[in-house]
């Protein structure tokens, strides 16, 4: 005698029981707890403890001091506008170098607004530094970094600012160039990255060398 066929559309699945739910829930909860422990506790500690032991200054923010007070960090740029200081790369972070609004312009290379911005920044840079219209302007002087907090400029950018800073400080250009060379950081391991000048460190050194000036 043939078995009766199961009606079409019938539910052939076994209704879930409390025992089945427990067998699925328990591994899920354990997985979340284990991953939280590994990625939220053990892994951060594995990085933080060696960093504090062997790179305590960097782990504390690479802070720079002047007169015993913190004046900034090696890793975060600041906005300098007075002629007696080297000026940083333009910033789109908030009103400029705002760490709470880090970010770039996000404008594409063919964007008309970006082209107008570059032209305006180039004109401003030439005017500030007494340069002729034929003088090529370094790319970092007319473009904004992705973070808006870049603490460095290129040696070419610093070199074009030397005459202005020297005049404002009453120093010789050779003296200022020596300071620029001293605070020029070479590529890591000789080939990683490119040469760069720390603007904040250089300006603090100039304050010490040529008399502190209000910013």
| Position 215 confidence tier, pLDDT thresholds 50, 70, 90 | very low
Q: Tell me the per-residue pLDDT of 80-128, one tens digit each, with 9 for 90 and over.
A: 999 999 999 999 998 889 888 899 888 888 899 999 999 999 999 999 9
| Position 212 confidence tier, pLDDT thresholds 50, 70, 90 | very low
Least confident of 64-73, 74-83, 154-163, 170-179: 64-73
Q: Tell me the per-residue pLDDT of 50-77, one tens digit each, with 9 for 90 and over.
A: 988 888 877 777 888 777 788 888 889 8
Residue extents of the structural domains in the chain? 26-60, 62-210
Residue 191: its pLDDT value, please?
85
Residue 10: its pLDDT value, please?
52
| Close Cβ partners of 180 (under 8 Å, ≥ 6 residues apart) | 155, 158, 159, 162, 197, 202
Residue 12: its pLDDT value, please?
56
| Position 166 confidence tier, pLDDT thresholds 50, 70, 90 | very high
Average pLDDT over residues 194-210: 91
DSSP line for 48-103: HHHHHHH-HHHHTT-EEEETTEEEEETTB-----STTS-------STTTT-GGG--
Q: What is the pTM of this model?
A: 0.74
| Position 211 confidence tier, pLDDT thresholds 50, 70, 90 | low
Nearest to 170 by CA among 199, 200, 209: 209
Residue 9: its pLDDT value, please?
54
Residue 213: pLDDT over 80: no
Dihedral of CA atoms 127, 203, 177, 183 in degrees, nearest 10, equals -130
Q: Above pLDDT 70, what percent of the chain? A: 88
Q: Above pLDDT 90, what percent of the chain? A: 55
Residue 160: pLDDT over 60: yes
């Amino acid at each position: 005698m043939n078995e009766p066929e199961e009606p079409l559309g019938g539910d052939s699945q076994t209704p879930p029981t409390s025992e089945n739910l427990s067998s699925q829930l328990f591994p899920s909860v354990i997985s979340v707890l284990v991953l939280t422990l590994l990625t939220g506790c053990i892994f951060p500690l594995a990085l933080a403890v060696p960093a504090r032991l062997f790179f305590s200054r960097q782990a504390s923010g690479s802070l720079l001091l002047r007169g015993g007070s913190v004046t900034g960090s090696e890793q975060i740029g600041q906005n300098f506008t007075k002629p007696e200081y080297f000026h940083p790369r333009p910033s789109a972070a908030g009103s400029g170098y705002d760490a709470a609004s880090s970010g770039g312009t996000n404008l594409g290379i063919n964007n008309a607004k970006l082209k107008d911005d570059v032209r305006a920044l180039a004109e401003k840079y030439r005017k500030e530094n007494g340069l002729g219209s034929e003088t090529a302007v370094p790319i970092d002087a007319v473009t904004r970094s992705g973070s808006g907090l870049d603490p460095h400029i290129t040696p070419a950018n610093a070199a074009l600012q030397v005459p202005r800073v020297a005049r404002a400080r009453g120093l010789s250009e050779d003296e200022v160039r020596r300071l620029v060379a001293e605070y020029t950081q070479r590529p890591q391991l000789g080939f990683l990255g490119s040469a760069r000048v720390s603007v904040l460190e250089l300006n603090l050194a100039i304050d010490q060398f040529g008399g502190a000036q209000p910013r």
